[in-house]
Each structure stands twice: as structure tokens, then as C-alpha cells.
A and B are shown apart, each in its own frame.
Chain A
Amino acid sequence: MSAVVVEHVTKTFRSPSASSNTLKDRVVRKSGARERFTALEDVSLTVNEGESIALIGSNGSGKSTLLKLIAGILYPDTGTIACPQRLSALLELGAGFHPDLTGRENVFLNAALLGLTSKETRDRFDDIVGFADLGKFIDAPVRNYSSGMYARLGFAVAVNTRPEVLLVDEVLAVGDEVFQRRCIQRMNDLRASGVTIITVSHGVQGLREFCDRVIWLDHGRVKQDGNSSDVIDEYLGKAIGLVHATTESNNRILEVAVTSSQDFPWTGTIRVRVSDGGGVERVIVGLLTHSGTVLGTWNALTPFSNKQSGRQELQLQLDGLPLASGHYGVSVTLAGPNESTLDWWPAASTGFEVAHGTGVGEAGFLTANPIWSVRE
């Protein structure tokens, strides 16, 4: 039996530049002229009862939008979404907590929002508080909570609503390690008990084990839908070198692509296609973490000096970086005379994934082949 059926769903948003809601904007700009961008285009998929699936894709591929549509938070422009069962969406832990109310009061409010009656919440209250492990803080206003306590209480409420369909949007990346492990444990329990689980993930760590099926979204369309390992291999192998064609002008970056091995340590090649109008004095390639921390930069000085102006391709090979599992990005800057910036390619557009090891208990950006031993 199907738990979720999505049929021919298309969803567009107003572009951020046009989303202003004052009278002046309405009058000055004719409403018909507003630009919209398409987040999802003609997406269809079926999730069977008891299945665990993941939606993967790069930033802006539409995976979070799809999850919110299934959750009933957004409505599609065209197409239909059917989810006849009790659904609980973990889009952000502790969503709807009111800072002035106590933990106890918030449990009741949050549980009601997730679909429980007061009586059901009372019956499960001890389980919830036990899982959240807050001690006497349960009767303090949540504005005094640490972010970890906030997340623990939010997760505890959500998983104790006993949903039939659980939607998870990367919320497990919060809290300390012990808590994360307990969350993963609880998710596995839920999966074993037959709960349908749909996860959205930027990374692919752990997805092979946790998911029966993976759906890869690319620019708002389903690119591949199938067995987790097949889709993840394909995604890691090919999707990484996303093509971003931009309009050609004098000095511009046309495309940045990353191809990498899945070995350890990481070895990869960054290819930069540039339209050189004669002004490019320096090409700077930066390696960034998911959160934007710069791990390293590499400079190519006057790379095209003895070439004719026009299209050039520059290649940078990086060997043996001990990157830990996670999501990374590559940014490229074209610098002209006097350090002026001619063009810039954001790291968010060219991301790649490093996946090795178990993904459990790993933090940070570096790893090694650790050898542990206990001294006799």
C-alpha cells in the first residue's frame, strides 16, 4: 500500500527580489510582471508503506520544497499529493516552541501541533521527558534552554507522537554526539517498527544503510529513483560536476567542475573553464566547508599569458587531502589588474561529497587512518 503519492507536482515561488508586500510595490509593479522561479517541475513519486527513502540533490534542487509539500506546509501550483496516514514532520526541532512557556507547557503545545490529543500527550509525557533528559529544567521557560536541550526536547516530542509517516529534514545534525547516536538509534527503531520515513539530506553518509530507496532531484526534476546504492554511486560519480553555463562576456568563469575519487585520502581534479578577455591576471581556487570555512586556497598567476584571448580551461589537481566525510564546496575567483575581482563563482554552486567510514561519531574536517592500540 502507498503511504505517499505525489503526482505531477509543479511548484513555483516568487523570486526573492520580487517578494515585497507593501502597497507601493503592488502599485508600482504590475502584478502580472512578477518573476517566478520553478522549484519543482512535474514531479511524481510513490512511497510505499514502511519504506525508508531519502531525497538527495544539490542546493536548490527542490528536495526541501518537496518535503514541505508532502508535509502539507506548502501547496502545489498543479498536481496532487496524497498522504492518508498520520504524518509527523521534523523540519526543525522544537518548531513552535514558545519561549515564554515552560518545557512542560511546550510539550503539550508541540504534541498537539503534531497531532496528539492532550490525553495522549499525558500518557506519553514520561517517555518524552525521559528521552529528553532535562531534569528539573522541564518546568523552566524554554528561553533559558541551551540549543542542545531545545533540540532534545523537540526530537523527544516528535518521535513520541508515533507517526505512521515521518518526514525528517537534516535535523539530526544538531546536539552532542551522544544525543545524535540516540536519535539514530530511535530512527532505526521506528524504521524497524514499520514507520514510513522520508529524509532529506545534503550528505550521503549513512544513507546506504538507512534507506531502501533514494530519489535524486536535480533542478526540480526527478533525475533518478531507485535502489540506494545505485543512485548514490551515480550521484557521487556524476552529479558533482554540475554544469553552470553563464552568459559569455569578456572575463568570466563559464564552468567549474569537480571530479574526485572516493578513496582515502581524497584526490580530486578541479576544472575551471574561463572566457579570458585578456584581463585575467590570477585565478584563485578555494576549498570550503559546507558552512563556508575556507580550508585552503590555490593561486594560478597569469595562467593564460602566452595564449590568445578566448576560452581557456584550467585544471588543478589536489592529491591526498585527508578530508573527513562531509559536504565541501569549491569557489573560484578571477582577479584582474590591481587585484580587482572580475568574476566570482560561489562554492554553493559546486559542491562535492566525501563519504567514507561509518559517518558515526565523526566530526570536523580532517581524518586519517587511525590506528588505536591499548598499551599493555
Chain B
Amino acid sequence: MTTKSFRHDFSVFRLLVQRELRARYRRTVFGWAWSTLNPLALAVVYTIVFNGFLKLQAPVGSPSGVKNFTFHLLAGLLPWNFMVNSVMNSLAAVLGSGPLVKRVRFNRANISISVVAAWLFSFVIELMLLLVAAIALQRSFRLAFFVVIPVLILQTIFVCGLSLLFSALNVFLRDLSYILPVFFLLWLYTTPILYPADLIPVKTTIGPFTLPTLKLLSYNPMLYFVNAYRDALYNGRYPSPNGWFAMVVSAIGAFAIGWAVYGRLQRRFAEEL
């Protein structure tokens, strides 16, 4: 890739992100406040249901000593929302880009990546609010907070990979727009975000099948990202080497697959959109 085409890609990218951000909360009363009000409202609902009704407790942070259900929940839910919002909006953005794709030559990966970037923007704001809450709850500023930065970078690469993969596949298989929400719901409930991880049994028996639940969970990449954010912000410690390894592998793996699939399928976008 030449410098010139890279600069071209970058200016297209920047403008697409701007467009995405400007258009997002247009014609709403609260506007951008929704980007923080929305997850907060969700956190209130989940806290009432899971903490209030079901009496689930947040674990005690070690070494921080923090015990706060809502904060524990948000530290997992916000990274989760970043992923789901990015992927689902990428699907829509690619489908909606037909007029552009059919008439203008540009690197089409920009469409999906710019959506991820726009959601990254609001996620970073949310993370900063979480950081303020973490400092307030832990009553100290820890070096472990900085871990959030590399974790965020790895998760963004991971999310870009998923967005590229699913938004390209969706052009050829429109059912994905309906399958993915169900898939994400299943994924959300199999990741200990709304409930503490120690509730997950080693084995689960459903009818004639016995699943090694805990072992299966260790293949869930989101578990490691959620744990890493919680380690840094809630527990005040560094993620385990095992966790780092899993995050690096899932980020590189998802991106490589997404990029390869997108690169292949985008050649026929102009015909299929």
C-alpha cells in the first residue's frame, strides 16, 4: 500500500467516523447523553433483577477490597456493549452503503472499521467514567489501572475482526441479521457478566447430554477481556499471563480471519448490495 492511498484511506475513514458520530443521536432530546444514560439505565435494571430479586452478590475485589454489584456489572457490561454495538451496527452500515460501494472506489473495510471506531469513541468516555468510579471506590490510584489501555487495544482489534467477518458474511447471507442477536444473547448469558463466575458449575446435564461447562467457558474469548477489565478496575490487580495470552490470540485470530474473509467477499459487494 502506497503512502498516498493510505492517506486517502485515512481521510475517508475519518469522515466516515464523523458521519457515524454526527448521525447517531440526531433528533433525540438527550443527544449524546444517551451514550452514558443507556448503559447506566441497563445497569440499574440488571442490579434490581440480579442483585435485588435473585440476591446475587458481587465478589470481594482482591486486593482492592471493593464490593459493589453495579460497578462489578458495569466493568463487564460496557466492554460487552462495545462489542455488540460495533458488530450489529457494522452489519447495518455495510448493507446501507450500497449507493456508495456501487459508485465510488475506496477501501471498503473503512465502512466496518469506522463503525467500530465510532463506538470505541463512546466506550472510551465510559471507561473514563469507570476509572473515576474505580478511584473513588478503591480510594487510591493504582498502576494496574493502566492495564486498561493494552486491554482496550486488544479488544478493539478483536471487535474489528468480528465486525469485518460478520458484516461481510451478512451481505451474502442476510439471515445473519436475525441469527446474530440470538447468538449474542446466548453468548452474553454464557459469559459471567450479569452474574459472578463462581456460579458456573463444572459440569451441566441437559437431558442426555453432559457438558463440561467450565472447560467450555475457557474457550470464550470475551471471558478474558471482561476479566481483564475487572482485574484492573475492580480488583486492582494485573490480569494473569494466561489471560494475556488468550486476549492476544483471540485478537490476532479474529482479525486475521475477519480481514481475510472481508478482503475476499468485498470484491463482490457492488454486485450484491
Interface residues of A, Cβ cutoff 8 Å to B:
13-14, 19, 21-23, 26, 68, 71-75, 87, 89, 91-92, 95-96, 98, 100-101, 108-109, 112-118
Contact = CB atoms under 8 A, between A and B. Distances in A.
Given A21-B272, A75-B267, A112-B11, A96 B173 contact: no
B241 interface: no
B268 A115 contact: no
A73 B8 contact: no
Contacts of B249: none
Q: Which 5 A-B pairs have the closest CB atoms?
A: A95-B103, A72-B105, A75-B267, A23-B175, A91-B103
A156 B1 CA distance: 29
Chain A interface helix/strand/loop/mixed = loop
12 contacts: A14-B271, A22-B175, A23-B175, A72-B105, A91-B103, A92-B99, A95-B102, A100-B23, A100-B26, A114-B104, A117-B8, A118-B11
Contacts of A22: 173-175
A245 B22 CA distance: 55
Contacts of A13: 271
B104 A19 contact: no
Given A21-B172, A112-B15, A73 B103 contact: yes
Given A22-B173, A73-B102, A117-B8, 14 more contacts: A21-B272, A71-B105, A72-B105, A73-B101, A73-B105, A75-B267, A75-B268, A89-B103, A89-B105, A95-B99, A96-B103, A112-B8, A112-B12, A113-B12
Contacts of A75: 267-268
Nearest to A68: B270
A337 to B, nearest CB: 44
Contacts of A114: 104
Interface of B: 7-8, 11-12, 14-16, 19, 22-23, 26, 99-106, 171-175, 267-268, 270-272
Contacts of B268: 75
A109 B15 contact: yes
Nearest to B23: A100
A109 B19 contact: yes
B104 A26 contact: no
A114 B12 CA distance: 9
Contact of A95 (B7, B12, B22, B100): B100
A322 B103 CA distance: 37
Nearest to A92: B103
Nearest to A167: B105
Contact of A117 (B7, B19, B172): B7
Contacts of A95: 99-100, 102-104
Contacts of A108: 15
A88 to B, nearest CB: 9
A26 B173 contact: yes
Contact of B104 (A23, A89, A117): A89
Among A74, A87, A95, A113, residue most surrounded by chain B Cβ atoms (within 10 Å): A113
A113 B173 contact: no
A100 B173 CA distance: 29
B173 A23 contact: yes
B266 to A, nearest CB: 9
Among B101, B270, B272, residue most surrounded by chain A Cβ atoms (within 10 Å): B270
Contacts of B104: 73, 89, 91, 95-96, 113-114
Nearest to A108: B15
B272 A19 contact: yes
A112 B99 CA distance: 16
A91 B102 CA distance: 9
A254 to B, nearest CB: 33
Contacts of B12: 112-113
A114 B103 CA distance: 10
A73 B268 CA distance: 9
Nearest to A98: B19
Among A91, A114, A115, residue most surrounded by chain B Cβ atoms (within 10 Å): A115
B8 A115 contact: yes
A178 B103 CA distance: 26
A220 to B, nearest CB: 16
B105 A96 contact: no
Given A21-B272, A74-B271, A117-B7, A101 B174 contact: no
Given A21-B172, A71-B105, A73-B105, A113 B271 contact: no
A21 B100 contact: no
A68 B271 CA distance: 11
A35 to B, nearest CB: 14
Nearest to A110: B104
B236 to A, nearest CB: 43
Nearest to A118: B11
A13 B172 CA distance: 14
